[in-house]
Structure 1
Amino acid sequence: MKLNVTTIRKFLHKSQKPIGFVSGSWKTTQRFIDAEKRNFELLFFAFSIGLSVGLVGSVFRLTLDYINKLSTELYAYNSNGKLINYFILIILSTISVLISYALVKNLAPEASGSGVQEVEGALDQARPLRWKRVLPVKFVSSLFSLGSGLLLGREGPTIQIGANIGKMFTDTFRRPDDEVNPLVSAGAAAGLATAFNAPLSGIVFVIEELHGHFHYKFFSLAGIMIASSTADFVVRALIGVDPVVHMTIFNHPPLQSIWMFFVFGLFLSLVGYLFNAYLIKTLNRTRKLSKRNAYIYAGTVGIVVAIVGIFNFNLIGGGYQTIRFVLDHSFTFVFLLILFLSRLILTILGYSTGVSGGIFAPLLAMGVVFGMLFGNMMQSVFPAQILSPGIFAVAGMAGIFASTVRAPLTGLVLAIEMTANFELILPLLVTSITASIFTTMFGNKPIYTTLLKRTLENAAQQHK
């Protein structure tokens, strides 16, 4: 072959395409490698967040359990008819509520209440996550508010703490902006798993309740699954593996009784509508109080709760004691009705004080009480179809969550994980779906959506 200029040019022209192809392929391969590296880094940080939330949440739960144990002993010791002992209990409860309120009001107002609405706002980039302030304030103030006996739950604080730990990791390790949403969501999922020993509920909660705020991608979903399961593993290793609610494991009820759960869900939809409506009305009224009157209001609620606790300590607190109290005894229709209404009112009053504390646990307790109330009625009328009213207690946990939070799947999974009653999936589904559909038809908005809207409106007014 004779080499000349023309031959050389043809050879070089043909060689340019393979060389360019190889170069382009390498760049594409490098982009894939970089993307995979970032995805695995995301999963590693999700694991680290779950580990941290599990540790912090376990310390929080163990400390709170110790405080509650002391409170139980204190009420048992001092409830002997002496006026001075009653006075001491009332003073301690009131001071605890006031300390919690002062910490929140003066140091981190966003730590007020549940905190779930703040997490939703942060995922939408509408609210800041000031983790340096919120983490210590939420932790300490929640111990005082929950330890005082107020009818508030630990799950709101652990969810907000978990989300802020997620933000702490993104800031500390300077993660890209597109990782803030999945890592904060992973922290929130881990927080719920920590509160209830319910990892699946934490995952479902983010997907269902935070669906409009959580940026759904495969690795984001994998991140919340890793964080939730890791946190649950830590909690079970440090605290225990038993279900949060100890109760009978029920068999599936007869199929001819399923219609009762439809009726039960309808009643729960009304309960959810009333709870949300009066909670927002009470919050709107307390928001108008002066600083001095707000402290007086918070202290007054603390006094009322202490007086109820003196009457019966099982009737106050987040609701776990109430659940065991109701399940372990047989009560009249009138007593259960009074218990339900009193917890409904005291939960609204406690949350409206502005201290730290969630509403999941109080709602679940109300669902149990209302379920026993309805179950006793059904058993008296249809004894052959209802062998135990406790079945409605489990369904009540799922149904009342569905009607207030409008997250029926989360309520269903939460009730099953907390009680280990896996046989009751069908009646719980019927109750949850019915409650959520009818409460929507009544015009009931999801409670956290309403709370977030109020928070944004308040923030806008303060900046005017």
Structure 2
Amino acid sequence: MGNRNGTSSKDRSVNLDIRNYKLLLNALLIGVITGLLSSIFRLVLARLSTFRTTFQIGQADQLWQDWFWPMLFTFFGIWFSIFLVKKYAPEAAGSGIQEIEGALDGVRAVRWRKVLPIKFFASIFSLSSGLLLGREGPTVQIGANVGKMVEDVFKQSVEEDNPLISTGAASGLASAFNAPFSGIIFVIEEMNGHFKFNFYSLAALMIGAGSADMVVRFLVGSGPILKTTIFTFEDLSGLWLFVVFGLILSFIGIAFNKLLIEALDFFKKIRINPMVIALGIAFVITAVGLYSEDMIGSGYSTIANAYNDSFTLKFLLALFVVRFFLSIMSYGSGVPGGIFTPLITLGVISGMLFGGMAQYFFPDVVQDPAIFGVAGMAGIFASTIRAPLTGLALSVEMTANYELILPLIFTAVTASVCTTMLGNAPIYSILLKRILNKGETAV
């Protein structure tokens, strides 16, 4: 029997099935496009990151060249990135994940025609300059904007807006770290209040993240991002140390979130020409980089050196302090870039530092300090972003240390519960609320 409009229940069911199948096909397209853009993004960044360090000749009689060329390269990258964002797409500043959460709630517009090119190119300049920023924020925002682009190009219904943007976000994180499961978990956990759950929207996430990761593995390479020792964990007598470590990370997370917001407010309030700001930051980054390259950049080489026991405990402490404040300064400046990788780097450093001291005092309990380095990745993610499952998944996928799940769970849950009890809100919720409270709009 038909309804008043002459449409039978069978016809409605057929239309619904067609819409769901289109959603899954669109998710595949989003994943492929996002994976392709992320691959190009990663390959260009890899080439530019080595290009910057070639300026540092290291000869005493050519010290001015060691300073001048790296500083000029860094200055131009920061200044041009700030220029592009401020003039053409202010919402492309920072990681952009808070913008995606706002878009899923319908309180922020997704202007993919401007954001896609600006986020892509401005992020290349900012991330190759030596700033302590990660590629995952840009790829997540790029992926989400690809989702909106596919919706607009194929004139999909408004109902498809949420799952397609979410699929793009999952694809972006998956393609940044070769971590498809983390991309899926991130949307489910971090965006749980924004993502509309049903069977097909969840399937779309899986298709998008999987296809994006497949493209990246074809074009960039497969395997875990971080090459570390594959550990076993059979002695449970040291589990209490991971609880203590998680407690410490909860306080680090509170400090990081608070100082990050203060840095954003500081750079927002000061009335200084962006060129002067870029010059000042370039001077700091260049000076620190000349002392130690491990203290600047996104952190992948720093993590590798830390896992290889290349640092003393004294240097690890200095490395943590310097990278902590430079990460906050880099993000606060307003250039595009994510905080996942800098946070993960801080987690590894703090884990190696804690593990080294724990091994000194409890040699029979701690088999290798690097286990705490892996746990630190999950714990600091849980304490700042308050996404313990994502931190757990990322740590395991990026290092292939699947047998460390138990100690990682103890670290992550302790860090997330303690930081929550102490009143530390998730950083992206804070950033979104900050944007909405200040009435900032895209121009």
Write out aligned runs for 1:305-454 (5 A): 305-454=285-434
* Contact 1:253 1:386 (C-alpha < 8 Å) held by counterparts: no
Kindly report which structure 2 residues correspond to 1:7-406, keeping only aligned pairs within 5 A, or say none: 27-75=8-56, 77-78=57-58, 82-85=62-65, 86-290=67-271, 292=273, 294-406=274-386
> 2:182–2:390: 8 Å Cα contact kept in structure 1?
yes
Q: Within 1, Cα distance between the matches of 2:158 and 2:2?
A: 33
TM-score by length of 1: 0.92
After superposition, the CA RMSD in angstroms is 1.9
Q: For the residues of structure 2 that align with 1:79 and 1:148, how far apart are their CA atoms? A: 22
- Give the 3-state SS of the residue equivalent to 2:55 in structure 1: helix
The superposition leaves residues 295-327 of structure 1 with CA deviations (integer Å, 9 ceiling, x where unpaired) of 422331122111111112232111101101211
Relative distance call for 1:81 and 1:347 in structure 2 (3 A) is: farther
AA paired with 1:347?
S
Distance 2:420 2:189 in 1: 16
Deviations 1:101-128 (A, max 9, x none): 1111111100000000000011111111
Say if 1:254 and 1:118 are closer, same or farther in 2 by CA, change over 3 A.
same
For 1:240, give the aligned amino acid.
Answer: G
8 Å contact kept, 1:399–1:435 = yes
Q: Verify the 8 A CA contact 1:398 1:428 in the aligned structure 2.
A: yes
> Take 1:139 and 1:290, find their aligned partners in 2: how far apart are those partners?
27
Q: 2:53, 2:70 within 8 Å by CA — same for their partners in 1? A: no
The unaligned stretches of length 5 or more in structure 1 are 1-19
- Mapped contact 1:101–1:354 kept (Cα < 8 A): yes
Q: Is the 8 A contact 2:231 2:403 kept in 1?
A: yes
Q: Does the 8 Å contact 1:315/1:321 carry over to 2?
A: no
What does the per-residue CA deviation read over 1:130-184, in whole Å, with 9 as the maximum and x for residues that have no partner? 1111011000011110100000000000000000000001111110000010000
Cα distance in 2 between the residues matched to 1:21 and 1:80: 87
What SS does the corresponding residue of 2:226 show, helix, strand or coil? coil
> In 1, Cα distance between the equivalents of 2:62 and 2:96?
39
Does the Cα contact within 8 Å between 1:253 and 1:385 map onto a contact in 2?
no
1:213: how far off? 0.7
Q: Kindly state the Cα deviation for residue 460 of structure 1 after the two structures are TM-superposed.
A: 5.2
Q: Deviations for 1:204-239, whole angstroms, at most 9, x for unmatched residues?
A: 000000111111111001001100000000001111
AA matched with 1:126: V
SS in 1 for 2:423: coil
| Structure 1, 66-75 or 369-378: larger mean CA deviation | 66-75
**Corresponding residue of 1:3:** none
d(CA) in 1 for partners of 2:3, 2:128: 66
Q: How many Å apart are 1:78 and its aligned residue?
A: 4.9
Runs of 4+ in 1 over 6 A off after TM superposition: 21-26
Moved more, 195-204 or 276-285: 276-285
Q: CA deviation at 1:88?
A: 1.7
Mapped contact 1:79–1:310 kept (Cα < 8 A): no
1:74 is paired with a residue whose SS is: coil
For the pair shown, which has the larger CA radius of gyration, 1 or 2?
1
CA distance in 1, matches of 2:169, 2:61: 45
CA distance in 2, matches of 1:22, 1:290: 64
Deviation at 1:253, TM superposition (A): 4.7
- Indicate the larger mover: 38-47 or 310-319: 310-319
Structure 1 contact 273–404 (Cα < 8 Å) conserved: yes
CA distance in 2, matches of 1:460, 1:349: 21
d(CA) in 1 for partners of 2:234, 2:311: 22
User: Which SS does the other structure have where 2:193 is aligned?
Assistant: coil
Counterparts in 2 of 1:425 and 1:387: CA distance versus 1, 3 Å? same
Structure 1 letter corresponding to 2:368: S
Which whole-Å deviations, capped at 9, do the CAs of 1:416-460 have from their partners, x for residues lacking one? 000000000000000000000000111111000000011112235
Quote the offset at 1:21 in angstroms. 8.9
Query: 1:352 is matched by which residue type in structure 2?
Result: G
Structure 2 residue matching 1:459: 3-state secondary structure: coil
Show CA shifts across 1:325-371 (max 9, x none): 21123432221111001000000000011001000000000000000
Aligned partner letter, 1:417? E
Q: Give structure 2 stretches of 5+ with no counterpart.
A: none
The question of whether the paired residues in 1 share the 8 Å contact of 2:243 and 2:410 is answered with yes
Which residue of structure 2 aligns with residue 457 of structure 1? 437
- Give the Cα separation in 1 of the matches to 2:46 and 2:2: 65
Q: How many Å apart are 1:291 and its aligned residue?
A: 5.0
8 Å contact from structure 2 (residues 94, 337) kept in 1: yes
Question: For 1:274-311, what per-residue CA distance to the aligned partner results, in whole angstroms no more than 9, with x for missing partners?
Answer: 0001111111121112252x442233112211111111
